[in-house]
Amino acid sequence: MAGMRSSPQRPWSTRFTSDQRTCLVAAIILLVVVCVCGALVVSVGGRLGESLASMFRQEEATPSGAWPADSAELMVAVSPGMAPVFQELADQFNRQAQRTPDGQSMQVKPLALTPEKMVEQSLGMPPFQALAPDSSLWLNQLERRWAELQGAGASEAALIPIGDRRVSNPIRYATSPIVIVAWESVARQLGWPDRAVGWQEIQRKATQDPNFKWNHPSTSHASGLLATLAEFYAGAGLTRGLTPAVATNPQTLEYVRAVESTVRFYGEGEEVIIERLAAEGRNFLDAFVAQEQVVIAWNSGARAGLQTVPAQAERLVAIYPAEGTLWADHPLALLELGGPGETAATDNQRRTFQAFAQFLTSTDAQRQLLAAGYRPADLSVSLDEAGSPFADTDAVDWRQPQTTLQIPPAAVVEVVQNVWWYTKRPTNVILVVDTSGSMAGDKLERTQEALRAFVSQIRGERDQVGLVEFGSSIKRFEQLRPQTSQNRAELIEQINGMEADGRTALIDALVEAYKYLQATGDTEAINAIVAMTDGQENQSFYGFPDLEQYMKEEQTVNVVVFTIAFGSDADENLLQNIARAGNGQFRRASETDIEELYKIISTYF
């Protein structure tokens, strides 16, 4: 519906009775499993914004793979959470000044990259020769997709000859179990340390206490994917042997749906969570899913008075799910390059890989990883020895977890990733978009690309997206609609038709979007606004105090507000205040990274 509406109408509902849900989910899951068997479908401000922008620049500044035939420089893609520790270890290795037989200097250069991007780039012509994701799940996923590109069927992927695989020589240099991280006071409310706590206790607490906030990252991050697998295991009552049939059993799906329905939001990995905790403390989250290492890093930082963690911060505690958990196993593997159009890893780079692998698994490096809060791959390094971060603390327990769940095959993981879209908490998100005159030209084109990318990332048909386009006034108000293929195509067509003109009535657009979400009264969903502007508010009837007052009043539903400052002319102070009032996040974007930023924000839903 274009233009202003006279009064908000409740959008067409996708909420069903229990029996209807079971039938619908069963039909959808049958279709998903059939498709999966045939083809692979993988599809706040301040320091955090700057660090993310730095990451974007680092990735984009790296050219496609091409290097001298005698190069001994090894570029390693590493998960962002591990990147600081990995960089320090690489620096130590480089200072050893080891040389190849022909005199080339062995050097390791880490590149912070999300695991999903590692996989995507590894299927093409990557700028790196080795990769170190946070879980071997990503290596398995890479091999599966690589096998399909080479013409092997999904069932044949495991039979690909070693010489035809995309990765080789994998080693494990550190591990960390996936835990439920909670503030100590919250953990005690849940029953820690007197009794085991699991997913059911989290669900019960979130159901009984509307102020309880917990999350896990989206399944594009290892901790989110591993936690989701653990939920499926718990729902099935198993610790190993998860299959597509078991994962899609209606009883399993209802269990997972019940747990997921209490998630406050999804989102990014541990490194971003820590930044938000440091800035907002208990106001941000009560509990979240992460690697055990996060607990040690936070508590050590608090004791040492490090800048990242406030010195007065409450302790975090690791809760090892009673139903069992999985591990982030931190592999390092060499890419087997050299196919048509790509440069092969040189003999010297292979020598550097072997030397660095030996260095990472050396006793000294393993003890450094232990000091950083990871469990060493070398089992001879004792976790409870003097000086170990596991010693003399009850915040983590080196004897846990008591139950380790089995990593399922890549095909099962893929089924779980796809089924998750039908078990996760649904989303109602309104995109508030500035198309004033200053957005003309490249800015509008980049914004349209970013919006199309965002819409394509919202893949659950229970998820609903609306659109508010504004200039001097609200030009278009598209109410929430489920993201079916037809509705998605129509929304993209509306995005393509945007034109830049007028002044900037940002606050008026936000007030209307906020009122509309409140009028829906949909407490089952994550309700959110993502607002972007490139300029100064100069046209609204309402002011920020009016918007803030709306947000402070007793509300029907919780609405989180993300704000994006596009370019250097945006009013960052206003956008930060809006995000703070809306319990959301403020981010900065340029024409080079706005599409990536919208993709990141989409992971929260």
Residue 64 is predicted with a pLDDT of 57
Mean pLDDT score, 170-187: 97
Distances (CA, A) of 324 to 120, 183, 203: 31, 21, 16
pLDDT at 54 over 90: no
| pLDDT value of position 223 | 93
Which pLDDT does position 3 carry in this prediction?
37
pLDDT, tens digit, for every residue of 236-288?
999 999 999 999 999 999 999 999 999 999 988 888 888 888 888 888 899 99
- The one-letter amino acid code at 573 reads N
Q: In which band, very low, low, confident or very high, does the pLDDT at 309 lie, cut at 50, 70 and 90?
A: low
The pLDDT of residue 592 is 75
User: Which SS3 state, helix, strand or coil, does residue 64 take?
Assistant: coil
Q: Could you give the dihedral angle defined by the CA atoms of residues 372, 374, 380 and 385, in that order, rounded to the nearest 10 degrees? A: 60
Confidence of residue 90 (pLDDT cuts 50, 70, 90): very high
Who's near 392: CB < 8 A, 6+ residues apart? none
The pLDDT of residue 65 is 64
Please tell me the predicted confidence (pLDDT) of residue 312: 65
Look at strands 130-132 and 73-78 and give their pairing: parallel
* pLDDT tens digits for range 211-245: 899 999 988 889 999 999 999 999 999 999 999 99
Where helices occur in 361-462 by DSSP H, the ranges are: 363-371, 410-423, 442-457
As a 3-state breakdown, the chain gives helix, strand, coil percent values, each rounded to 5, of 45, 15, 40
Contact 425, 558 (CB under 8 A): no
The residue-averaged pLDDT of 90-106 equals: 98
Which of 556, 482, 466 is closest to 14 using CA atoms?
Answer: 482
Does 444 score more than 60 pLDDT? yes
Q: Which two structure tokens, joined as six digits, stand for 417?
A: 């990733």
Of 312-316, 336-340, 362-366, which range is least confident?
312-316
At residue 555, the pLDDT reads: 82
Per-residue confidence (pLDDT) for residue 498, from 0 to 100: 97
Euclidean distance between CA atoms 385 and 175, whole angstroms: 18
pLDDT of 344 reads: 93
* pLDDT tier, 432 (very low <50, low <70, confident <90, very high otherwise): very high
Contact at 8 Å (CB) between 560 and 265? yes
Residue 31: the pLDDT is 44
Give the mean model confidence (pLDDT) for residues 47-63: 41
Mean pLDDT, residues 382-405 taken together:
95
Angle at 42 between CA 29 and CA 264, to 5 degrees: 70
pLDDT at 323: 95
**567: left (phi > 0), else alpha (psi -120 to 50), else beta?**
left
Predicted structure pTM score: 0.82
Q: How does pLDDT run across 133-161, given as a tens digit for each residue? A: 999 999 999 999 999 888 755 444 444 44
The pLDDT of residue 311: 59
Q: Facing residues of 334 across strands? A: 130, 168
- For residues 133 and 113, the answer to whether their CB atoms sit within 8 Å is no
Q: Specify whether the CB–CB gap between 82 and 134 falls below 8 A.
A: yes
Counting residues of the chain whose pLDDT is more than 90, the rounded percentage is 72
Of the candidates 161, 106, 98, the residue with the CA atom closest to the CA atom of residue 130:
106
**Structural domains in the chain plus CATH codes:** 18-38+426-602 (3.40.50.410), 64-425 (3.40.190.10)
pLDDT of residue 310: 62
Average pLDDT over residues 47-65: 43
Report the alpha-carbon distance of residue 468 to residue 463 in Å, rounded. 17
Please provide the size of the chain in residues. Answer: 605
Share of the chain above pLDDT 70, in %: 85
**For the chain, what is the mean pLDDT?**
87
Looking at residue 459, its pLDDT comes to: 82
* pLDDT at residue number 163: 55
| pLDDT surpasses 80 at 415 | yes
